[in-house]
Amino acid sequence: MALPALSDPNFDRTVVFVLEHTDDGAFGLVLNRPTEEPPAAALEAWEACLVQPAVVFSGGPVQPDAFIGLAAVTGEAREDSWALLGNGLATVDLSLPPDAVLADLDAVRIFHGYAGWGPSQLDDELAHDAWVVVDPLPGDVFTADPGVLWRTVLRRQPGRLSWLADYPDDISTN
């Protein structure tokens, strides 16, 4: 989760679900930036599978023309339709028709772009208190109200971290 100290407007008050974090870098998806755009024509078939709000989300500033599907899955992972992330989540192959994988999907969200960091970049930002790592709850990824996700996740944290949920949008008005 981005903390108020993070000055990059791409990540102001974002909740990022990190998909991978290795020595080579990290990447994830911003969970609380819905756009007003419906799925692109090539992804129109997926629209009926989307959880509310049924729009494309801005997953981050990297490769904004790329689309990534994130799904809640049940059953065995099939190599040709998704890549299992764990905890019942997977990235789904949006090039396949939804009926090829729908029987095993409980929820789908489509993101354009993603958040990415080079080697040690995210670690450095964490060390400078730009981010805080928290465990997600199952409902966070597919929340119906992404506009309040940042505050909601902070409010449930222990101690002083929960106080940040009430941090003003503009500190100069405090």
CA–CA separation, 16 and 134 (whole Å): 10
Residues 68 and 114 sit within 8 Å (Cβ to Cβ): yes
Residues 6+ apart with CB under 8 A from 57: 29, 30, 31, 33, 34, 35, 109, 110, 111, 112, 146
Residues 84 and 101 sit within 8 Å (Cβ to Cβ): no
What is the model's pLDDT at position 26?
A: 96
- 97 vs 115, residue with greater confidence: 115
Give mean pLDDT, residues 1-25: 92
CA–CA separation, 55 and 53 (whole Å): 6
* Whole-number average pLDDT of the chain: 88
Instruction: Tokens for 18, please give them.
Output: 């990190």
Rounded percentage of the chain residues whose pLDDT exceeds 70: 90
Q: Rounded to 5, what percent of the chain is helix, strand, coil?
A: 30, 30, 40
Q: Left if phi > 0, otherwise alpha if psi is -120 to 50, otherwise beta: which for 75?
A: left
User: Would you say residue 89 has pLDDT above 60?
Assistant: yes
Model pLDDT for residues 54-68, shown as the tens digit of each residue: 999 999 999 998 999
The predicted model scores a pTM of 0.91
